[in-house]
Amino acid sequence: VSPASLIAVGQCGNQIGCCFWDLALREHAAVNQQGVYDEAISSFFRNVDTRILPLGRPGGVVNEILQGPLRDVFDSKQLITDISGSGNNWAVGHKVFGSLYQEQILEKLRKSAEHCDCLQCFFIIHSMGGGTGSGLGTFLLKVLEDEFPEVYRFVTSVYPSAEDDVITSPYNSILAMKELNEHADCVLPIDNQSLFDIISKIDLMVNSGKLGTTIKAKSLVTSSAGAVKKRHQKPFDAMNNIVANLLLNLTSSARFEGSLNMDLNEISMNLVPFPQLHYLVSSLTPLYTLADVNIPTRRLDQMFSDAFSKDHQLIRADPKHSLYLACALMVRGNVQVSDLRRNIERLKPSLRFISWNQEGWKTSLCSVPPVGHSHSLLALANNTCVKPTFMELRDRFTRLYKKKAHLHHYLQIEGMEESCFMEAVSSLSRLIEEYNQLDATKCMPVEDLPRLSIAM
């Protein structure tokens, strides 16, 4: 059990963070009948949730926290809320608020770190397209790197979809990407479009009556039913719940027991072969479960197949036709090592792994399944299929930048120059080039290299 600290920045980040806490408490309540706030969860997240978000946002996320049943969980001193809006401007978030609030934020982080015997990683949740989450969120990365160099920085980043209503989102995203490239240890890119597609599919299945009454509401990965606190269903709630579930499963093996544990620092160790290539494609299954809990072996294998289907990915990409550098399977529930192995053997032939990592699988088995399910699987893949996403991002940026649209909002901020944009694009281009080089090896035959020869 290694303490992690959750830092939610901006509106998107905080909404997801809120969902996460709800689900985590629900999960621990189900496992530990006595109390809502038990040893496992306390030793894992020690009151160290730091929330940074602009005050005056409609919905008053902060007020809900401070008044609801979760109020005992959160130390209100951990909230930084007097930041006025960033106007969807990365430069405001990063440069202005960054310097303005650096000390205050640092102080809170230092205080929380004191409570942890052994802080292992920071989870930062934010979106890329706005101003606060994107700008201030990435500013924080550098601060964390300087102040706590030993602690891993895990970032869950929500990338804007092409139809994003924030016009400047390509600028914000590109500028944020550079920071992610340089200061994050591991990034889980999430795509709003993918989340939306998942919701639509579930709605379709539920409404078409195909599965009808057999789906339990509580078991929907998108549902907050049975959560500790009743929240009003807001437009992004279902989507946020999916991301929250991702985080829940990511941390399950560190929170609960199992026959093959996986700590958070093992994720980075196994999935990041080179420091710059730290973007992981995540897919989650199941997204809903049927009423019948006695799921026979066939269903279990189906779960593994689903994890490798595009429908379950949280980002739009095509890993099967690209190159795997590494893959992690985090299994929860009554699944044993033989089930894992059988499925790896079965799926391996259809997946292309890079020559020096032909058996690049990292696996974990956690005994406790998520609430409402008998088992679940989270797959994290380091795969060159993220390249198209980044290229698309670069294209959208270029289209906007060519017209110099809205640029003055950024350039008027002290410390911002056109070179900032140029550097950010270069950084992204370099990353894309790295993926290109790896892809080039895709069709080469896998050969064993000549070994060291020993004089006998």
Partner 1 sequence: MSVVTVQLGQCGNQIGFEVFDALYSDSHCPQGLCSERENEAYQASSKERFFSEEENGVSIARAVLVDMEPKVINQTLSKAAQSGQWKYAQHSCFCQKEGSGNNWAYGYSVHGPRHEESIMNLIQKEVEKCDSLSGFFIIMSMAGGTGSGLGAFVTQNLQDQYSNSLKMNQIIWPYGTGEVIVQNYNSVLTLSHLYRSSDALLVHENDAIHKICAKLMNIKQISFSDINQVLAHQLGSVFQPTYSVEGSCHYRRNPLGICPFIFFFTGDLMENLVPHPEFKMLGIRNIPQMSENSLTYSTFTWAGLLKHLRQMLISNSKMEEGINWQVRPPLPGLPTLGKVSLNRELHFNTSIANLVILRGKDVHSADLGGFKDPALYTSWLEPIDAFNVWKTQRAFSKYEKSAALVSNSQFLLKPLDTIVGKAWNMFASKAYIHQYTKFGIEEEDFLDSFTLLEQVVASYCNL
Nearer to partner 1, 131 or 360 (CB): 360
CB-nearer residue toward partner 1: 359 or 414: 359
H helix intervals, 164-235: 169-183, 192-207
**Under 8 Å CB-to-CB from 16, ≥6 apart: which residues?**
8, 125, 156, 158, 240, 243, 244, 247
d(CA 258, CA 31): 14
The CB-of-331 to partner 1 minimum distance in angstroms stands at 12
CB-nearer residue toward partner 1: 114 or 448: 448
User: How near is the Cβ of 116 to partner 1 at its closest, in Å?
Assistant: 9
Give me the least distance between CB of 154 and partner 1, in Å please.
13
Contact 151/120 with Cβ under 8 angstroms?
yes
Among 277, 375, 267, 274, CA closest to 328: 267
C-alpha 161/C-alpha 164 separation (Å) is 5
How many CB atoms sit inside 10 A of residue 165's CB? 9
Q: Which is nearer to partner 1, 117 or 165 (CB)?
A: 117
* Contact footprint for partner 1 (CB under 8 A): 1-3, 43, 117-118, 120, 257, 259-261, 263, 265-266, 268-275, 325-326, 336-339, 341, 344-345, 348, 355-363, 365, 448-449, 451-454, 456
Q: Quick check: helix, strand or coil at residue 332?
A: strand
Q: Whose Cβ is closer to partner 1: residue 2's or residue 245's?
A: 2
Question: C-alpha angle 295/296/298, rounded to 5°?
Answer: 115
For residues 37 and 17, give the distance between their C-alpha atoms in angstroms, rounded to a whole number. Answer: 17
Q: Which is nearer to partner 1, 171 or 256 (CB)?
A: 256
